[in-house]
Amino acid sequence: MSLSYASGTSAVPLLGETIGANLDRTVAAFPDRDALVECETGRRWSYAQLAADVDAVALGLLARGVAKGDRVGIWAPNRAEWFLVQYATAKIGAILVTINPAYRVHELEFVLNQAGVRTLVAAPSFKTSDYAAMIEQVRGRCPALDDVVLLGEESWDALVDDGRAGDPAALAAAGAALGADDPINIQYTSGTTGFPKGATLSHHNILNNGFFVGETCGYDAEDRICVPVPFYHCFGMVMGNLAATSHGACVVVPAPGFDAAATLAAAEAEACTSLYGVPTMFIAMLNDPSFGDRDLSALRTGIMAGSPCPVEVMKQVIERMGMAEVTICYGMTETSPVSTQTRAGDSLDRRVSTVGTVHPHLEVKVVDPATGAAVPRGEPGELCTRGYSVMLGYWDEPAKTAEVIDAARWMHTGDLAVMDADGYVSITGRIKDMVIRGGENVYPREVEEFLHTHPDVVDAQVIGVPDAVYGEELMAWVRLRDGAEPLTADAVRAFCRDRLAHYKIPRYVHLVDAFPMTVTGKVRKVQMRAEAVELLGLGDGPGGSGTGAAPASG
């Protein structure tokens, strides 16, 4: 009997250096090659120019008193300055706190305080979000925050000017004091207990994960990677930026936020060889009116991740986009993120029915959730992963860290999986109630706790229901206080708007007098989902036939 355990062997050793040292090596090897292209503004950087600007930002931060271990927040959509701040903080050992551009005041305040952010670099605004106004709203309630730098405004220009006038010896001294195991990044994941948790990652964690994602995609200095996925997430900053800079490749930023037409235009104009996205992004690109006019012949590979890929979408990505070597990745923020990945030579079936095999230098196993023992191959259980990629822990939350990382340093993912005889892993479900909406992870408890703040809500339970576009949508089952006026879905959304990120706002609302319960008093969400699918006419799985035209019921 073969157990569900696999380890990733590799002739390529792990990198034992900091992100700054790795970037310096790449700059020395490829000074004149393209490093970064921002399509919206037409700005471009060679590796030599990138190094000069990164060092200027790093010295500017040092001049403002930012030191090793200080937390620096970045709250902005995808733009070149985001990239510069990522590498500048790494060079001085400041811990970059990446903040979701969709966050509202409620979430921003929590993250700034939980991480103890001292310096916040932010875009003044993006789309309908007035970041500058929201920052002012919370600033008095965030005692650690003593410096705000707004991109494109005087404060940013002053920081860069200070850095250009700074002493390079100070930056070299700061870099010499760093180690590869130092924490360098805090990424917030939606919390199962009401608020997000800050996964704390080291140079060693994310540099190596980016490097081996790039190795698995076959990257070299000739590659040009189109990155429409957000930088604030590991998909953008690790699988995109660090995979590129560790190989001398170029990052192409199509637009500040995802735009199908802009992404296709960027891939054509910059002759991109690789393209990233969650399945909904690829669906949008394939259906964009401009698709047929684009020359995507340079495309070779790419990554699809975030949620399962429908087989027809994968076929079209390979056939119509020319991405014959496209890969599927599986991971989580807490593991830097990638643990398994399909390979270029894998069959179409394996690329749509599995998430590949274990990554180099990592271990994965599937265990019985009750006993922790590895199950035989072919049997379901909880997927666990161990190795260089496992986070240092949740920032300032040792008890929550201990809930997911056991004494042997295995990260318990909460995902149900099956490993086949050849070591390919399929994700079959989730132990936790996480909802994946368009590639965004949403934990219902966070939304439930927020709904409880509504004066008329006695109790709320949130579930995921099938959706043809996003994979899943949120549905709130709500109990109202006696005598309260019935709440419509529009009223609930209005209550959430400006306080929760858009992807956490329930699309459907169902008013109930009671929830289905187990004998022991636990809410039966499995039964709720089954009833919801029937109630809304959504079919029986992701991509069900229902359109969800009725946004509220009860």
Kindly state whether residue 224 falls inside one of the protein's structural domains. no
Domain holding 472, by residue range, is 435-553
CB atoms within 10 A of CB 542: 19
| Residue 460, C-beta contacts closer than 8 angstroms, at least 6 positions apart | 447, 448, 451, 452, 476, 477, 478, 479
Give the position of tokens 């949403």.
442
For the chain, what's the residue count?
Answer: 554
**pTM, entire model:** 0.85
Kindly state whether residue 483 falls inside one of the protein's structural domains. yes
**pLDDT tens-place string over residues 318-335:** 999 999 999 999 999 999
What does each C-alpha distance from 72 to 18, 134, 245, 521, 538 come to in angstroms? 18, 17, 22, 44, 44
Kindly state whether residue 118 falls inside one of the protein's structural domains. yes
- Among residues 150, 179, 208, the one where a domain terminates is 179
The answer to whether the beta carbons of residues 416 and 382 sit under 8 Å apart is: yes
Kindly state whether residue 326 falls inside one of the protein's structural domains. no
3-state secondary structure 158-171: HHHHHHHCCCHHHH
- What residues are paired with 119 via a beta bridge? 72, 147
3-state percent helix, strand, coil for the chain, nearest multiple of 5: 35, 25, 40
Kindly state whether residue 143 falls inside one of the protein's structural domains. yes
Task: Give the range among 77-91, 516-530, 537-551 with minimum mean pLDDT.
Answer: 537-551
Higher-pLDDT residue of 428, 246: 246
Kindly state whether residue 140 falls inside one of the protein's structural domains. yes
Kindly state whether residue 232 falls inside one of the protein's structural domains. no
pLDDT at 193: 42
The answer to whether the beta carbons of residues 19 and 2 sit under 8 Å apart is: no
Instruction: Give the count of domains, the chain.
Output: 2
Q: What DSSP character marks residue 309?
A: P
Kindly state whether residue 261 falls inside one of the protein's structural domains. no
**pLDDT tens-place string over residues 103-117:** 999 999 999 999 999
- Among residues 179, 196, 211, the one where a domain terminates is 179
Following CA atoms 74, 77, 83, 87 in sequence, which dihedral angle do they give, to the nearest 10 degrees?
Answer: 20
pLDDT at 423: 98
- Among residues 179, 200, 221, the one where a domain terminates is 179
pLDDT at 143: 98
CATH number at 56 reads 3.40.50.980
pLDDT at 479: 87
Q: How many angstroms separate the CA atoms of 173 and 327, rounded?
A: 40
CB atoms within 10 A of CB 11: 5
**pLDDT tens-place string over residues 334-364:** 999 999 999 999 999 999 889 999 999 999 9
CATH number at 454 reads 3.30.300.30
Evaluate if residue 192 carries a pLDDT over 50. Answer: no
The strand ranges marked E within 58-139 are 71-75, 95-98, 117-122
pLDDT at 542: 41
The answer to whether the beta carbons of residues 179 and 18 sit under 8 Å apart is: yes
- What residues are paired with 440 via a beta bridge? 437
What does each C-alpha distance from 48 to 33, 36, 42, 248, 306 come to in angstroms? 8, 11, 18, 11, 33
The overall average pLDDT reported for the chain is 92
489 pLDDT band, cuts 50/70/90, is confident
